[in-house]
A and B are shown apart, each in its own frame.
Chain A
């Protein structure tokens, strides 16, 4: 479990960046942090992995303040993916990069080598390739793999899909959701609301160093007023679901007004269209009651 208790933080000891954050993240949760550039998301992430210590308040990992945990202990508990993967790649081959983490915690044994070979195969890497010659998407995957290989109970991912194309994004999110299914706690900063909607269980909205909303993903994403204030736009299907009932009363009270995903929205619209046709047929039938058969004979193809 990770707890933020009234956390205040700064980089220089004077300019407040985080201004009183209270949060609890349970084991195995998938939490997304959203907010505009500069809202303090990366700063909050640095507090989880202990790179930055609070000026006031405390960040607890399994009940222990980060200030009391040794760096190696923190590294064992929390895997961290930086906003820019190039900041964490430091070896000259993909294999060495993946072994690096084991070396850092003094576990460079046969078991570690087996695990690295397994990951190389899983990710379809070339173990001898030079990380710096890989393209951006593959470097991001490597940075992610170097965390996955150590199997930490918690991963903190700062904008894991930024700068990637759609296929790379799908690949990276596939790996992250696999980790989550296997029980890893995932804390992710992400600007892409479609990705947030597809994967996160809970969303934390930050503005100017504060948490302005948090809760189950769609409770937060459907809260238009708070999103507006945070200068965020909901994912498109939520947007449609919020707008349609206002534009056309026929949608109010139908499943359109609660649909969150593409599949839900498609089904909801099909329902309304079918119901509409049925309702129309019914009313036509009412009006034409004295003309026998016409109403029912003409229907259906």
Chain B
């Protein structure tokens, strides 16, 4: 469970708060997506979840963030990193090893995971991301999609209760992007892991998330199930968030009185709804 209460944060170098009066609670096991224009404060929000804010960035911090009841301000980064696993925006800067297996072992050994558990966890995490065959490979020789999966697997092996990912599919093609989301959501469901993912690909968010949060200039503009949030397609467009095309289509048909059902967030649901329109 993540509880953000009246959070305001301003970096020491910036002249205005980057996050303002933000309150949000994300239930345990939820798959939450965050979207918003560049500079709206999404990455900073992820720092507030994993404790980098306030622990590493000097600035003014008001309000509170609690992870499973632990206030991030009162919890050490070491303790926080056992609860919150994060994959940052620039994964190449995150890798510490040359070989996939070493990357996996690094965290486990450093956090004193009992030796008899290590092998099981490495194998499980690699399998969860579908990359067991890459175990002995040099990270530098992997494709962008494979690297992203390694970065995620090395975090999964730590079995965090919360997983935070900042634009994990930015460099990936649509098929690998969807694959990463599918693997993540499957793993999260099986382990009860809470996932918070910042993502620009709205179609992915609407397909996989159960909580969609739209950030505008450091504030939460919309938060709710994708169907609720995407009902506001015209307002979203104004703040620089594009809806999936089939959502826009169905919303326009709804506005014209041709459709009265729930908001459609993907192609199959739009097609089913359109069959009813025709009937």
Contacts and interface: CB of A to CB of B under 8 A. Distances in A.
A169 to B, nearest CB: 9
Interface in A269-291: 269-270, 272-273, 276
Contacts of A270: 253, 256, 258
Given A248-B278, A262-B249, A236 B203 contact: yes
B170 A162 contact: yes
A239 B267 contact: yes
Contact of A167 (B172, B176, B240): B240
Given A37-B145, A236-B246, A273 B271 contact: no
A266 interface: yes
Interface stretch (A55-63, A104-112, A214-222, A227-235): A227-235
Interface of A: 35-38, 135-137, 162-168, 191, 193-194, 231-233, 235-237, 239-240, 243-244, 247-248, 250-251, 262, 265-266, 269-270, 272-273, 276
A233 B177 CA distance: 12
B127 interface: no
Interface size class of B (residues with CB under 8 A): 35 or more
Contact of B174 (A193, A237, A240, A250): A193
Nearest to A168: B38
Contact of A37 (B39, B143, B270, B279): B143
B242 A240 contact: no
Interface of B: 36-39, 143-145, 167, 170-176, 200, 203, 240-242, 244-246, 248-249, 252-253, 256, 258, 267-268, 270-272, 274-275, 277-279
Given A38-B143, A236-B246, A162 B171 contact: yes
Contacts, number: 105
Contacts of B241: 166
B240 A233 contact: no
Contacts of B200: 163-166
Given A240-B267, A250-B279, 4 more contacts: A166-B241, A191-B173, A193-B174, A247-B271
B253 A269 contact: yes
B165 to A, nearest CB: 15
Nearest to A231: B175
Contacts of B258: 269-270, 273
A78 to B, nearest CB: 24
B175 A36 contact: yes
Contacts of B278: 248, 250-251, 269, 272-273, 276
A265 B175 contact: no
Nearest to B268: A243
A267 B238 CA distance: 24
A262 B242 CA distance: 13
B267 A37 contact: no
Contacts of A136: 38
